Structure 1
């Protein structure tokens, strides 16, 4: 399951890198056109191109710092800001506003994903207060168009990048929440076992300890009573051992309905949609216990060895089928868990198989005697 957030991270970063690369290429051709038309000296175009390249190189690192929750890239933000100011200062006034809009919005985007939103808003208002008057008085753009154009560029671009970063963090938190649910389910099962074991042995062992201590004291005063106390200790120890055997046998004889619900909850917590269709009314207790073991091992196998997004569990006439997708590459079908399950079913007169069925699906099939 860990590959899903990593894939989302790569897709989002590559998409945003592509946007930056497109803008860089567009500005390169714009600078080249200005040089060819004689509107911009070669040295000036090279300096502007270098400043823009500095910003376009710094921005992906700022993005990755935001994605990976690294410390705020203050130096990169400062370098990007200086490059922005330099590019704007050296751009011809006739083309200044379009350059300012894009370059300033990229720098503002870096702020939006790196600092608290209030700081970004302050800088955004300051940039709008500078660029809108320049667009009106220098480039002779109508006030309404200047306000709309500058405002949209300085708001939409940072907001878009901020939303992509927010989307990634949401995906990561959802995955971490699923993993936490799985760990919590395991922890609850361990706690239940510990509680049952404490309730089972706590009283018996306490009494055995007290009677053993009493017998030790009586051994030098009244050997008859000491022998009686030790006989009771032996009886209590035998009873406790029998209770432990009964408890272990109870854990070994799994409940089929409980295992189905547990496996379904674990798979859904891991991000796989699980459907369960069963008909088990005609099964004997022994058959239900065997199928419960198969369900548990099948669910464990899916969680450990696949990236399943869907799973179907069916039981009909004593035949269990667990089918899941997310199989990548050759699958192990002879692990210790599956091998032990096969031996258990075969010894009881049933059958077992587990193999890939083509494309990316895996099928576990277990049949118990009628």
Structure 2
């Protein structure tokens, strides 16, 4: 299961949902944050302010090595810790044991530098913050906030006491406490705020999936209910009349033929009614689809403009174009990047033209119609009414789908009359 969860990471950026993109961006930000603070708070100050005596140089070199290992370990554990926070995988507490050991080594080396007077006090304080951040980003997602704050307070007091023994200056001791408190608080905010945002986004994503499944289930129930209404009574009558015909035939009564003729009539009527139900299920009403597209897109926060009326168009044309509206609307919602979508329907020179545009496209793909089976399926439906379909980019970030269907002269005349 964990492998399947990770599968989305290998997909291209344009194929990801909003939640997947935000998660990838957040993870990359956490990766970069640890290295940035290690470089800005540890490497640069230490290289510039380190005493050139042999022992401080060795301790400083070890401190740089430990800081590098801390960043690498934090990057390695960021994804598993995030999966643990989001409830996608379990991670035992001992998973942070290596990061905790590196934190202890880093703080011990900072203390050694302070005791040796190997660098200035400001560099010592900055290196303490650089050591705390990689571990804090991970620990903030592993334990409740109260536990994190309690442990941070204990660590702050402990570091103030220990470093106070090496340098009893009250101002510098207070500065150690401030840096420790800031480092732990910053790591908690950086990790928790981003992870909480991701949790909300994934919850919204799951809600959309549940809503879609419920819509499909509701449609199946409706279809089953219609079939039951159509077939239930007719099948019961067929069963009764067949049984009556059997009894009459055994007695040699001529009425048996009449009963079987009635059974045949009811069966044929049932076939016709089932075809009507299936046709209503499979065919799309263009007017309903246009209104539904505007309502669904508006509810999803996408500005939608619909121009034109479907009244007067032949039923087969409405059905074919209705599927175009349904498919394009579905893909705009699926990609979730569009801020505006426009649907235009017009009749010109014996043709009806449907145009759907949205601004959620990216080069190489678009939130218009999924490639392959989506386009092929729509072209097959339009081919049934001698229609054509064109899809492609129409400017910066705009994806356009144009469906054109010829109208018979009688249809055009009836529309103009209407």
**2:287–2:309 Cα contact (<8 Å) kept:** no
Q: Once structures 1 and 2 are overlaid, which stretch shifts more, 143-152 or 335-344? A: 143-152
SS at match of 1:329: coil
Report what 2:404 is aligned to. Answer: 366
RMSD of aligned C-alpha atoms?
A: 3.4
Cα gap change, 1:304/1:29 in structure 2, threshold over 3 Å: closer, same or farther? same
Query: 1:49 is matched with which residue?
Result: 64
> What is the rounded CA distance, in whole Å, between the counterparts of 1:274 and 1:332 in structure 2?
27
Q: Is the 8 A contact 1:5 1:172 kept in 2?
A: yes
Q: 2:312 matched to which residue of 1?
A: 284
Alpha-carbon contact 1:267-1:303 (below 8 Å) kept? no
Residue of structure 2 aligned with 1:329, choices 364, 372, 385: 364
* Equivalence for 2:343: 313
Please name the residue that 1:109 is paired with. 137
The answer for the alignment partner of 1:203 in structure 2 is 233
Alignment deviations for residues 145-170 of structure 1 (CA, whole Å, 9 cap, x no partner): 56554433321222112111222233
Q: Which moved more, 1:245-254 or 1:111-120?
A: 245-254
CA contact under 8 A between 1:311 and 1:323: conserved in structure 2?
yes
Please tell me whether the aligned partners of residues 317 and 405 of structure 2 are also in contact (alpha carbons under 8 angstroms).
no
For 1:252 and 1:89, locate their aligned partners in 2 and report how far apart those are by CA, in whole Å. 72
State the alpha-carbon separation in 1 of the partners of residues 75 and 266 from structure 2. Answer: 71
**1:260 maps to what in 2?**
290
Q: 1:211–1:264: structure 2 CA closer, same or farther, 3 Å change rule? A: same
The number of residue pairs the alignment matches comes to 363
Judging changes above 3 Å, is the alpha-carbon distance between structure 1 residues 250 and 104 closer, same or farther for their aligned structure 2 residues?
closer
Q: Please, what TM-score do these two structures have when normalized by structure 2?
A: 0.74
Q: What is the SS of the residue equivalent to 1:320?
A: strand
In the alignment, does 2:299 pair up with 1:299? no
**1:140 partnered with 2:154:** no
Q: Does 1:246 align with 2:276?
A: yes
* TM-score, normalised via structure 1 length: 0.82
- Structure 1, residues 293-313: CA drift from partner, whole Å, max 9, x if none? 313224315645984514211
1:174–1:2: structure 2 CA closer, same or farther, 3 Å change rule? farther
CA distance in 2, matches of 1:214, 1:10: 71
Residue in 1 that maps onto 2:158: 130
- 1:173 and 2:209 aligned: no
- Cα distance between partner residues in 2 of 1:336 and 1:140: 77
Contact 1:104/1:127 (<8 A) preserved: no
**Structure 1 residue ranges without an equivalent (≥5):** none
Higher mean Cα deviation, 163-172 or 30-39? 30-39
Q: Is the Cα–Cα contact under 8 Å of residues 323 and 378 in structure 2 kept in the other structure?
A: no
Match of residue 382 from structure 2:
342
* 1:355 matches 2:385: no
Deviation at 1:189, TM superposition (A): 2.1
Distance 1:333-1:153 versus aligned 2 partners, 3 A rule = closer
* Map of 1:227 onto structure 2: 257
Partners of 2:186 and 2:134 lie apart in 1 by 11
Following the alignment from structure 2 to structure 1, what is the Cα–Cα distance between the partners of residues 180 and 276?
Answer: 77
Runs of 5+ unmatched residues, structure 2: 1-14, 115-120, 366-370, 413-418
What is the match of residue 70 of structure 1? 89
Q: Distance in 2 between matches of 1:366 and 1:333?
A: 19
C-alpha change, 1:359 and 1:344, in structure 2 (3 Å) is farther
Measure the CA separation in 2 of the matches of 1:248 and 1:79.
63
Asked if the contact 2:294–2:306 (Cα under 8 Å) also holds between the matched residues in 1, the reply is no
The 3-state SS of whatever aligns with 2:143 is: coil
* Greater mean deviation of Cα atoms: 199-208 or 65-74: 65-74
Where 1:364 maps in the other structure, the secondary structure is strand
Partners of 2:379 and 2:388 within 8 A in 1: no
Residue pair 1:81, 1:107 contacting (<8 A) in 2 also: yes
Paired residue secondary structure (2:314): helix
The change in CA–CA distance for 1:201 and 1:333 in structure 2 (over 3 A counts) is closer
Displacement of 1:85 in angstroms is 1.2
